Structure 1
Amino acid sequence: MAEEGIHKKDGTTDFRNKPAVKHKTGTWKACPYILGNERCERLAFYGINTNLVNYLKFQLNQRNFTAVSNVTNWSGMCYVMPLIGAFFADAYLGRYWTIASFSISYVFDYYLIALGTGGIKPCVSSFGADQFDDSDETEKKQKSSFFNWFYFSINIGALVAYSVLVWIQTNIGWGWGFGIPAVAMAIAVMSFFSGTKWYRNQRPGGSPLTRIFQVMVASVGKARVEVPNDKSLLQFEEAENTIIRRN
């Protein structure tokens, strides 16, 4: 049957938004580009984050307390923004377009790193997992291997940032020290887009955050409502109507 090659068990699509052909997309054909993106993005992030306090103190003449406070606030935003990135990925854009759009923001608005990393951090590992079909035993085993390589890529980027880039910033100059992470992030974007035709994409199916906010709003609005003792007067939704389903 001609349709046997279509990867239709988990609803993934290719870059044309058509059902992904199993033997042409996903697995390790796609993952090197994702790992390259993650390695360079982590190098760029840690290349800025690691020595930023010293830059603010000695180049911008900020007091130690002010510099540390600014870096702490910035780092905090970098780890809060992924909640927003994850929401857009789940509810509207999907993982591919969230990573793509926020990666471009990362490069052109390097001072808005918190925004860029917020879109990338929650999606890259999940997007890599999307490249493997859990219903296929071979691909299921390959997925476990992917996460090992993913973590390895993060640490390679961090190692270069904490050693080589810190040395460059301290001994050669801040222009080179911050310029190299910018170039690394540009390479990360190119690496990600280079694998586009091999990616398997999951359609956005709704975010759990939407339901959480709905419950919070409903709880506040009905806080003063008296609950009847007779449970037959209460309305219960069927289980299939209470979860977010993928389209």
Structure 2
Amino acid sequence: MNQRTPVIMNLMEKDVFVEGKVDWKGRAATKNKHGGMRAAVIVVATFAFENMANLALAVNLVFYFNTVMHYDIADAANHLTNFMGTSYILSILMAVLADTYIGRFRTVLIAAFIEFLGLSLLTLQAHYPKFKPPLCNIFLPTSHCEKLSGSNAVMLFSAIYLLAVGGAGVKAALPSHGADQFEEKDPKEAAQMSTFFNWLLLGVASGGCISLTFFVWVQDNKGFDYGFGLSMIAMFLGGVTIICGLPWYRIYVVQGSSAITEIIQVYVAAIRNSNLQLPEDPSELHEIPMDKEAALHEEFLPHRDVYRCLDKAAIRSDNTVPSGPWKLCRVTQVENAKILLAMVPVFLCSIIMTLCLAQLQTFSVQQGVTMDIKLTKSFNMPPASLPIIPVAFLVILVPIYDQILVPLLRKFTGIPTGITYLQRIGVGLLLSSFSMAIAGIMEVKRKDVARDHNMLDAVPVLQPLPISVFWLSFQYFVFGIADMFTYVGLLEFFYSQAPKSIKSISSCFLWSSMAMGYFLSGIMVKIVNHATKRGTKSGGWLAGNNINRNHLELFYWLLAILSLINFIVYLFVAMRYKYRPQTLDAEHEHEVHQLRTLKPSMEAL
């Protein structure tokens, strides 16, 4: 060996370092020691515990608000959808903190603690009678039950919205932290990343199975205090699990500057430069040279001939005097703004599906309360456990889809994920429309049974209808398949298309669309009740506490029509979308050039 050997060895060792990521001690992360599926599995397990803690709440809180806290069905449903919507919308703020200031891993830890605190407070209130309104049967027409109010109401909603904040942080940062364990530029790791997102859904479904069966059964049969206590324990185990993976994580290093600010700068600069003429040659637009030492670790994107109005942000008004960031932006910065702008229509088309999901977590559960819930002569199925049908199906279908269907589709399409992200999303959107149509048909059948047996005014708890709750499984089954296609497709789509500095924020496109869907659900219930007030005795299709006298089937069919229209709009959006181009990395190009230069020396050795 000669004196050149250490230089070559250093270059070869540098290849195993992961750019922009460190281990838990702050040292540069390496591919052979950190990240990969080993670390990702721990993230999947953490998400499973988090969903285990929360899914039982999502499906049974309406019943808790209605029967224990004495809110009307519509108010109880709105309280739940407001809570869910707030949690999802707060994920944007938590994502900004994760990407810019705190870091994704630390955000997960802090959020898990806040969520644990909210569950502890909820358990405490459910256990002690002094924190609840007096006992009363809300289903009896002659009852005038006192609703929760005063300091006890403050306690309830404090607990609920602590859960919202904590859940927002976990949802915002945990999927991105898991995806950080892979490098998109490495073809093998890029394929593993797609598998990780499928496994993430599998983890959510696995935790959901336990939550929807055991936790819900405990809530209904042993008391909500015991059920909430189990959720608190599951959240604690989730926090412990994420900490256990510390030695293997690749932890993304925050840049200290807001990527959102850089996007806003593009729009401001484009407006300020609106009077300037775009150059015919895009190469004349502003970009820092890739061979400059200051450009190392920077991301570079090629110019695209779309949304040309934003290109004005990169026009040099004076070639001799550099402008500030609010008047002159890099081409890459402009392209990032274009990518986010192009994703907005896809984001908007996903809102209606969450609107449908909200009904399965609220009104479909109320349907189940009125039906025969017997599995055997001695065991009753809790109505809130109905979502176990699509969730259990996902546990079976996700491995089949990932390990069998995707490789098979890959042979025909040549696409690593089998089908494109947008095709996967579209399949789910169409199936959600079918699910709502089926839900309307099932509601007609349920009401026919109630009418035929003169049970339209029956008290569900005392006298359930002689029709099995499993008739509702059809709508849950179809929506479960839609879930697998759309939500995982959206998560992959937003993560893969977003700039690397805002990966957490990009995943919040999904959570934000869900937030808007939940908020829209509450608004739509009120609009529908107001619009149908004159034509019904109860004061609207969905008004009052007697679901047998309501017109839920018409509401479901209305959602089916809206979902179908939404799918048609989505087809136009998807056909016009252009996928993000490959990133040009200055440091990578520089290293490749060095290795090519030293290739003769290496062969000589």
Shorter-chain TM-score bucket reads 0.7 to 0.9
How far apart, CA to CA, are the structure 2 residues paired with 1:197 and 1:88?
24
CA separation in 2, counterparts of 1:83 and 1:28? Answer: 27
Question: Contact conserved, 1:50 with 1:161, CA < 8 A, in 2?
Answer: no
Could you tell me how far apart the structure 1 residues matched to 2:41 and 2:273 are? 58
CA RMSD in angstroms, aligned pairs only: 2.8
**Can you list the C-alpha shifts for 1:210-235, whole angstroms capped at 9, x where unaligned?**
3455567x59xx8xx89657779984
Contact 1:27 1:131 in 2 (8 A): yes
Q: Residue 23 of structure 2 contacts residue 29 of structure 2 at CA under 8 Å; is this kept in 1?
A: yes
User: Are positions 1:92 and 2:101 aligned together?
Assistant: yes
Displacement of 1:134 in angstroms is 3.0
Matches within 5 A, 1:144-163: 144-163=194-213
Partner SS, residue 155 of structure 1: helix
Q: CA shift at 1:68, angstroms?
A: 1.9
Percentage identity across paired residues of the two chains = 27
For the 8 Å contact 1:95–1:123, the answer to whether it is kept is: yes
Moved more, 132-141 or 22-31: 132-141
Where does residue 196 of structure 1 map in the other structure? 246
1:239 maps to a residue whose letter is V
Indicate how the Cα distance of structure 1 residues 169 and 94 shifts in structure 2: closer, same or farther if over 3 A, else same: same
Q: In structure 2, what is the Cα distance between the partners aligned to 1:188 and 1:245? A: 27
* CA drift at 1:15: 0.6
Q: Which amino acid aligns with 1:148?
A: N
Partner of 1:132: 182
Cα separation, 2, equivalents of 1:21 and 1:116: 31
* Alignment gaps of 5+ in structure 2: 1-8, 120-158, 280-314, 318-327, 337-498, 502-605
* Consecutive unaligned residues in structure 1, runs of 5 or more: none
* 1:37 pairs with 2:87: no
The aligned counterpart of 2:331 is: 239
Change (3 A) 1:167 1:6: same
Q: TM-score, normalised by structure 1?
A: 0.85
Change (3 A) 1:136 1:227: closer
Q: Deviations over 1:158-212 (max 9, x none)?
A: 2222232222211221111111111000000000001011100111234443345
**Bigger Cα displacement from structure 2, 56-65 vs 175-184:** 56-65
Q: Is the 8 A contact 1:105 1:116 kept in 2?
A: yes
Q: List per-residue Cα deviations over 1:81-111 (Å, max 9, x = no partner).
A: 1111111111112211111111111112332
> Of residues 183, 195, 201 in structure 1, which corresponds to 2:233?
183
Distance 1:38 1:227 in 2: 46
The answer (yes or no) to whether the contact 1:7–1:19 under 8 Å persists in 2 is no
Superimposed CA distance per residue, residues 98-136 of structure 1 (whole angstroms, 9 cap, x where no aligned partner): 111111111123321110111111222221111122343
| Separation in structure 1 between the aligned mates of residue 274 and residue 202 of structure 2, nearest angstrom | 54
Q: C-alpha distance in 1, partners of 2:207/2:242?
A: 16
1:210 aligns with 2:250: no
Structure number with the bigger relative contact order (C-alpha 8 A, sep ≥ 6) is 1
Looking at structure 2, the residues matched to 231 and 31 of structure 1 have their Cα atoms a distance apart, in angstroms, of 45
* Shift in CA distance, 228/20, structure 1 to aligned 2, threshold 3 Å: closer
Match of 1:81 in 2: 90
Instruction: Answer yes or no: is the 8 Å Cα contact 2:262–2:333 preserved in 1.
Output: no
Query: Greater CA deviation, 58-67 or 234-243?
Result: 234-243
CA distance 1:30–1:237, change in 2 (3 Å): closer
Given candidates 70, 88, 94, the residue that maps to 1:61 is 70
Bigger Rg, which one: 2
Q: Which moved more, 1:85-94 or 1:129-138?
A: 129-138
Contact 2:266-2:329 within 8 A present in 1 as well: no
Secondary structure at the aligned position of 1:122 is classed as helix
Task: Tell me the amino acid that sits aligned with residue 42 of structure 2.
Answer: Y
Please say if 1:12 is aligned against 2:21: yes
When residues 186 and 238 of structure 1 are mapped into structure 2, their CA distance, relative to the original with a 3 A threshold, is closer
Distance 2:85 2:197 in 1: 25
From 122, 147, 162, give the equivalent of 2:172: 122
Shift of 1:67: 1.7
> Residues 135 and 172 of structure 1: is their aligned pair in 2 closer, same or farther, counting only changes over 3 Å?
same
Code of the aligned partner of 2:260: L
Contact 2:40-2:179 at 8 Å conserved across structures: no
Match of 2:218 in 1: 168
* Alpha-carbon displacement from aligned partner over 1:2-35 (angstroms, at most 9, x marks no partner): 6717743432110111101322111122122211
Count matched residues. Answer: 241
Query: Hey, what does 1:25 align to over in structure 2?
Result: 34
**Equivalent-residue separation in structure 2 for 1:175 and 1:182 (angstroms):** 10
SS of match in other structure, 1:23: coil
Change (3 A) 1:176 1:5: farther
Corresponding position of 1:102: 111
What one-letter code is carried by the residue in structure 1 that aligns with 2:63?
N
Taking a change above 3 Å as real, the CA distance of residues 184 and 228 of structure 1, as seen in their structure-2 partners, is: closer
Structure 2 distance, partners of 1:48, 1:175, is: 12
Q: Is residue 44–residue 181 contact of structure 1 (8 Å, CA) maintained in 2?
A: yes
C-alpha distance in structure 2 between counterparts of 1:185 and 1:108, whole Å: 10
Cα distance in structure 1, aligned partners of 2:52 and 2:212: 9
Runs of 4 or more above 6 Å deviation: 229-234
TM-score by length of 2: 0.37
